[in-house]
Every structure is written in structure tokens, then in C-alpha cells.
A = this chain, B = another copy of it.
Amino acid sequence: MRAKLAQQVESLLPAAVADLVRLCAHPSVSAQKLGVEECARLLASMMEEAGLSTRVLPSPEPGYPVVYAERKGRSPKTLLFYNHYDVQPPEPLGEWLSPPFQPTKREGKLYARGVADDKGHIAARLAAVKALLNADGELPCGVKFISEGCEEIGSPGLHKFVEEHKALLAADACLWEGGGVDWQGRPSITLGLKGILYVELECRAASRDSHSSYGTVVPNAAWRLAWALSTIKDRNERVLIPGFYDGVRPPTAAELAAVDALPAEDEELRRSLGLSGFVLGLRGSAWHRKHTLEPACNICGMESGYTGPGAKTVLPSWARAKMDFRLVPDQQPLDILAKLKKHLAAQGFEDIQVKARDANEMPARTSMDSPFVELVKVTARDVYGVEPLLVPNIAGSGPMYLFSHGLGLPIASAGVDYPDNHIHAPNENIRLEDYRKGILHLAAILDAFGRA
């Protein structure tokens, strides 16, 4: 990257760390309604300070405002940054080595709730903008920031917000929240997320429980549920819902090669979970391919009848299961929901109700052929000095499709994370060296995007 730009980043670094400390010192726990609106105002003032034109926009659903900021650049092209300024609850407090909202430096790391997820990314992006303005007096391209306040509670309202602000959010590419390096220091660029369908199955077999001696004749909701579940996925991990796999877009050769190039993580996870092995004996790249590129059908919980200590001889009248389906492109949650309902009815389980929660999400995956992906990759190689990894999609879910599908943007990630960042857990942290490199990479991306 340009020496002048790199120099600006270096001289800005102490102020960028101070900004991050200021942002993390302010609680913004959406699940606990703690400080979120005040944090939105703080963030807006920091965006103004960075030279951005900023508005605090109300959420269309009950929830916290969206902080929107923008600035035009030399090029007509615009890069959109998606972030969130809310954080997870800090509990359990006793496990923090320093107070969660009192950002603390130790051994080259900065500890605070939200420092990695997601305030470190916001502050790094603002620092990159400032460095470019200091270096050139103008930005190489237009930038737009959308920072929501409800990500940690499932982004209610974001769908509607994006729908209602398509013109405001119009851009040429999007940098997603998160992103960073792996254990070996290689930048890892994520291009997608899985979708999710979350359902609750409820069997009501009778109006009340019976004495278990009626197990000969009275329909038992727990049996009904166990049988129904066993028709949904078999012991070979094959989902048996007709048409379930219809929407799965076959991965490209490039996607398969990218997944095969990912560093092995199965053995470490196996030990950490105390497993003798994974399902189907999967290891290495077969493990990675299934985990990354195939949908999952998971039982999150089951409950029926008596579950206390000792023996109770009861025949349960109801049984419930919670399930989630992690979907890959181009599976669609509502299509899978319809197929699940049809399957259960066809199997004779009309006594089982399927309720889906509202907040289901579509899968999203940007093509590895996208020039924007190439740009993020090339600049990463330049800044980090190693070949970056490309992840077609991670196994988790999020609202990325609102931007990739809804706004038609190529999306990639670049940021300040590393694997031991303890997000959603006590002692959340980033390494300050990752923060420095992340800012350099973000500045290089903006610089290259203006020239592309």
C-alpha cells in the first residue's frame, strides 16, 4: 500500500485505540436494555468527528436506532460497511479478569465486552477513513456506514429497514462485520453465511397425561415425537424431507478448492468436545466440506412427560422439540418449512404442529469470481504478507442476505479478529497488533476500491 497512507495509519493509531476504548467503555447491551440509545448517540458523534455526515434513524420495529453515516469520495463508487454497536450481556461477571465495561490493556491485548464483537471493527473502519482523509484530504471512494443496535437479539426490524432504505443504502460492495486472521496469522476472508429456519414441533396426543399402564392403547406424545423425528433425518445424517436438497447449489470448483485449503480444525474440536469421532467418521477436508457447504438439521431441545429424579409412571400427553435447519444457497427457509409440514402430514403425523419463529434467515454467499473478493484478497496479501484464506461461507447465520440479495452487493469480510477473541464470553479481547493490521487493510481496501 501507499507509504503515505501507511504512515497516517501508524500516527493515528494511539487515537484509534483511544476511540475504541471510549466506545467500549459505554455499555450497550440490547438484551438487557442497558445503555443502547446513549451508545448510539456516542457512536454518531464519533462518526461526525471522523468527517462523516451522520443520522440516527429509528428502527421500524420496536428496537434500537440505526446509526447511518456517509461521505462521498473521489470515485463515484461506494463501499457500504455493515456493523452493530450493541453487545452481548457481560455475565458471568465473576469470570472477567477486568470489568467488562472498563477497557483494559494486558499483554498486547485490549479486553472489554464488545471490543471484538463488534466495536473493534467499527473503530478500525473509522480510523481507516480518518487516515485516508489525513493523507489525501478526501476519500478515494464513497463510504456508507449502517450500524444497527439489535444484532445480538436477532436483528428484528433490519429486514424492514433495508427494504425501506434501499436508495439510502445503495452501494457497489459491502464489507461485513467481523473478519480477521486465523491461528497462523493468515487473513481469513468470509464470503457468506448459512441461512436458518428455527421451528418448534409440538405433539398433543391427548387432553391430559395418563397412568403409564395405558401404554398398551393410549397414544403417547413422546413416542409420536420420537417416531416423527426419526422420519426427518436418518442415522446416516441424510435429511429425509422430500425436496430438502433441491435448492442446494452445487459448490464451484473454486469453492471446493478454497474449503480444501482451510486449515484443519476437526482434531482440536474433537478433543475439546471429548468425542471419539465426528458423525460418519468425518475428518480433514471431508469434515470441512460437509460443515461449510452442506445444510444441517439439528435438534436444539426435546421435552416430554416426567423428567425429574426417580421414577414416575406416566404416559405423556404432549411432547415438544426445537429444531434448527442451517441452510446453504439457494435453499429458502419458508420453502423448507412448507416441505417439512407436508412431509409430517404425509407420514401420518397430523397430530404434530410445526411453528416457525419469525426471524428466519436466508443463506448468502458471494461468488469467488467477484472482482471485489479479488480486491479484498490482493490487499490482504499486501498488508499481511501471506496468502489469505477464502471461506465461501461460515456455518453460522446472520442477516447478510438482506444486503447481498436485497441490495445486490458483493460482500466480504476484513477486520481485527483472531480465534481466541472470546466473543459472547467473559474476557472478550482483540490483539492490538491485529487492530493495527486491520486498519491498514481497511485503508488499503478503500484506496484500491476508489481506483478499481
**A interface vs B, CB < 8 Å?**
194, 196, 198, 205-208, 210-220, 222-223, 225-227, 229-230, 233-235, 266, 269, 273-275, 278-279, 282, 287, 290-291, 294-307, 310-317, 319-322, 324, 326, 348, 357, 359, 394-397
Q: Could you tell me the distance in whole angstroms from the C-beta of A126 to the nearest C-beta in chain B?
A: 30
In the complex, A317 Cα to B275 Cα: how many Å?
10
Using Cβ atoms and an 8 Å threshold, which residues of chain B touch A234? 227
In the complex, A243 Cα to B316 Cα: how many Å?
27
Add 18 more A-B contacts to A208-B274, A213-B396, A310-B357 (CB < 8 A): A205-B275, A207-B274, A210-B273, A212-B296, A213-B397, A214-B296, A216-B296, A217-B287, A218-B275, A219-B275, A220-B299, A227-B235, A230-B230, A299-B305, A301-B307, A302-B304, A307-B322, A311-B322
Using Cβ atoms and an 8 Å threshold, which residues of chain B touch A279? 216-219
In the complex, A234 Cα to B226 Cα: how many Å?
10
In the complex, A196 Cα to B287 Cα: how many Å?
44
Using Cβ atoms and an 8 Å threshold, which residues of chain B touch A303? 302-304, 307
Q: Is the CB of B397 within 8 A of A311?
A: no
Q: Is the CB of B290 within 8 A of A299?
A: no
Q: Is the CB of A222 within 8 A of B301?
A: yes
Using Cβ atoms and an 8 Å threshold, which residues of chain B touch A214? 269, 291, 296, 395
Q: Is the CB of A282 within 8 A of B217?
A: yes
Q: Is the CB of A395 within 8 A of B213?
A: yes
Q: Is the CB of A217 within 8 A of B278?
A: yes
In the assembly, how many copies of this chain are there? 2
Pick the residue among B211, B225, B320, B395 that contacts A307 (CB under 8 A): B320
Q: 5 pairs across A/B with beta carbons < 8 Å?
A: A207-B273, A214-B395, A216-B296, A216-B395, A218-B278
In the complex, A130 Cα to B317 Cα: how many Å?
47
Q: Is the CB of B296 within 8 A of A301?
A: no
| Main secondary structure on A side of the interface with B | mixed
Q: Is the CB of B273 within 8 A of A300?
A: no
Q: Could you tell me the distance in whole angstroms from the C-beta of A419 to the nearest C-beta in chain B?
A: 14
Q: Could you tell me the distance in whole angstroms from the C-beta of A220 to the nearest C-beta in chain B?
A: 6
Q: Could you tell me the distance in whole angstroms from the C-beta of A313 to the nearest C-beta in chain B?
A: 5
Using Cβ atoms and an 8 Å threshold, which residues of chain B touch A210? 273
Q: Is the CB of A226 within 8 A of B223?
A: no
In the complex, A274 Cα to B218 Cα: how many Å?
11
Q: Is the CB of A222 within 8 A of B395?
A: no
Using Cβ atoms and an 8 Å threshold, which residues of chain B touch A207? 273-274
In the complex, A315 Cα to B291 Cα: how many Å?
14
In the complex, A46 Cα to B446 Cα: how many Å?
98
Q: Of all chain B residues, which has the CB nearest A294?
A: B216
Q: Of all chain B residues, which has the CB nearest A154?
A: B311
In the complex, A222 Cα to B219 Cα: how many Å?
21
Q: Is the CB of B219 within 8 A of A357?
A: no
Q: Of all chain B residues, which has the CB nearest A301?
A: B305
Q: Could you tell me the distance in whole angstroms from the C-beta of A409 to the nearest C-beta in chain B?
A: 24
Q: Could you tell me the distance in whole angstroms from the C-beta of A238 to the nearest C-beta in chain B?
A: 12
In the complex, A297 Cα to B315 Cα: how many Å?
10
Q: Is the CB of A396 within 8 A of B307?
A: no
Q: Is the CB of A274 within 8 A of B206?
A: yes
Q: Is the CB of B297 within 8 A of A316?
A: no
Q: Is the CB of B275 within 8 A of A211?
A: no
Q: Is the CB of B304 within 8 A of A301?
A: yes
In the complex, A87 Cα to B233 Cα: how many Å?
47
Q: Is the CB of B316 within 8 A of A217?
A: no
Given contacts A198-B311, A302-B302, contact A296 B215 (CB under 8 A): yes
Using Cβ atoms and an 8 Å threshold, which residues of chain B touch A227? 230, 234-235
In the complex, A218 Cα to B192 Cα: how many Å?
21
Pick the residue among B229, B300, B307 that contacts A306 (CB under 8 A): B300
Q: Is the CB of A206 within 8 A of B273?
A: yes
User: Which of A213, A297, A298 is most buried by chain B, counting CB atoms within 10 A of its CB?
Assistant: A298
In the complex, A226 Cα to B320 Cα: how many Å?
12
Q: Could you tell me the distance in whole angstroms from the C-beta of A322 to the nearest C-beta in chain B?
A: 6
Q: Could you tell me the distance in whole angstroms from the C-beta of A421 to the nearest C-beta in chain B?
A: 15
Q: Is the CB of B220 within 8 A of A194?
A: no
Using Cβ atoms and an 8 Å threshold, which residues of chain B touch A225? 226, 302
Using Cβ atoms and an 8 Å threshold, which residues of chain B touch A274? 206-208
